[in-house]
Amino acid sequence: MLFIDKYRPTTLDKLDYQKDMAQRLERMLDSSDFPHLLFYGPFGAGKKTRVSAVLRHVFGPSVDKLKVENRAIPKPGSSGTVDITTISSPHHIELTPSDVGTQDRLVVMELIKEIASSRPLEITRAMGGGPQEGEGRGRFKVVVLNEVDHLTRAAQHALRRTMERYMSTCRLILCCQSTSKLIDPLKSRCLCIRVAAPTNDEILAILNDVAHKERMVLPPRLATRIVEAGQRNLRRSLLMLEACRVAKYPLEPDQEITTPDWERFLVDTARGVVEEQSAQKLLVTRKRLYELLVNCIPPEVIFQRLANELLRKCDSELRAEVAHWAAFFEHRLQQGTKPIVHLEAFLAKFMAIYKRYSQRMTLA
């Protein structure tokens, strides 16, 4: 079992950081019905861990009895269907509506409405206590929606109406990276909880704790290097620690830290763009970008890592202009529906800027 699964906190009181937030959540859940919740924060900050802890606090260990299903939702006015994968327990269901692209509104309107409109079974375990029949708390289902910041506006408005209509039988827990792309009516109907990325000191303490439980000797220098390479992403740091142990044990202070293949692939892509600026090179780069996207690397992550790598490789005289166009095309990426178009447009613009600069330097 991976370290990230083996040592994942299972209850609110066992969270390794942001304990004050966990205590406030626990008090709220023990005192009354909890409202719709919105957890937001960067990758690897611990949003899903906190969602699982909340569900376990409300419903008990039965939420761990999970099953994976493929649901087919018929398209209105046609014979086709929209397929989506769900993870469910007797008390909750988890799904990612943005997986179906522009059909996310159909998923919200049909599947979530079907789940929310059905009366849940009597739940005998009251929140925060033992079996207590007859109490009203906990008599509802929970729908967990991931990546709600990728939903279309139509899907967000449909979700808002569902939240209002089925409040008595259903609660929604939303997860996203940023609330900037969510409509205000949706945010106003949720209790927004920011899950900030852990600090380097907190990640270092967790790595040392995991190493102690695994009976590993973790050199302080190696631990510090892993924390720096992890970029405040706890999941990434734990995976790096495990990769180091698999690659070489006993661990050494200066041993190589294995990075994901897709990151090395991106570095090679950026290097190729700097070395050659041509239409043929742009076509080759487009295929490389497609390969990253089909392997489920988020386009926002690709754009950010690619822009940072290009900024490191270009001259200081160009960085302001490159940063300007990176912001321009990143905004278009957020507003558009086809990431490859905006990623390629940014690279084409960079090639034009870099080639013009290279020619000017050659003539000088």
Residues 111 and 222 in one domain: no
Give the per-residue pLDDT at 335.
Answer: 76
Residues 293 and 155 in one domain: no
Rounded Cα gap, residues 21 and 17, in angstroms: 9
Residues 207 and 61 in one domain: no
Query: Does residue 17 fall inside a structural domain?
Result: yes
For 265-317, how does the pLDDT look when each residue is reduced to its tens digit (9 = 90+)? 999 999 999 998 899 999 999 999 999 998 888 888 899 899 999 998 888 88
Residues 223 and 276 in one domain: no
Query: Does residue 254 fall inside a structural domain?
Result: no
Residues 216 and 154 in one domain: no
Residues 183 and 218 in one domain: no
User: At 73, which CATH number?
Assistant: 3.40.50.300
Does the pLDDT value for residue 127 go beyond 50?
A: no
Give the per-residue pLDDT at 70.
Answer: 87
Residues 190 and 110 in one domain: yes
Query: Does residue 46 fall inside a structural domain?
Result: yes
Domains in the chain, number: 3
Give the per-residue pLDDT at 132.
Answer: 40
Rounded average pLDDT over 174-194:
89
Query: Does residue 308 fall inside a structural domain?
Result: yes
Query: Does residue 276 fall inside a structural domain?
Result: yes
**Angle at Cα 21 formed by Cα 16 and Cα 23, nearest 5°?**
85
Average per-residue pLDDT in the chain? 85
What is the residue range of 21's domain?
A: 3-194
Task: Pull the structure tokens for residue 100.
Answer: 């179906």
Give the per-residue pLDDT at 227.
Answer: 92
Does the pLDDT value for residue 128 go beyond 50?
A: no
Query: Does residue 343 fall inside a structural domain?
Result: yes
Residues 205 and 314 in one domain: no
Does the pLDDT value for residue 143 go beyond 70?
A: yes
Among 66-80, 138-152, 300-314, the range with the most confident prediction by mean pLDDT is 300-314
Rounded Cα gap, residues 177 and 161, in angstroms: 23
Residues 172 and 25 in one domain: yes
Residues 44 and 159 in one domain: yes
Model pTM score: 0.80
Angular region, 101: left φ>0, alpha ψ -120 to 50, beta rest = left
User: At 303, which CATH number?
Assistant: 1.20.272.10
End-to-end C-alpha distance for the chain, whole angstroms:
60
Q: Beta partners for 192?
A: 38
- Which band of pLDDT confidence, cut at 50, 70 and 90, is reported for residue 119? low
Residues 23 and 38 in one domain: yes
Q: Cβ contacts of residue 273 below 8 Å, gap of 6+?
A: 281, 285, 310, 347, 350, 351, 354
Query: Does residue 255 fall inside a structural domain?
Result: no
Residues 154 and 208 in one domain: no
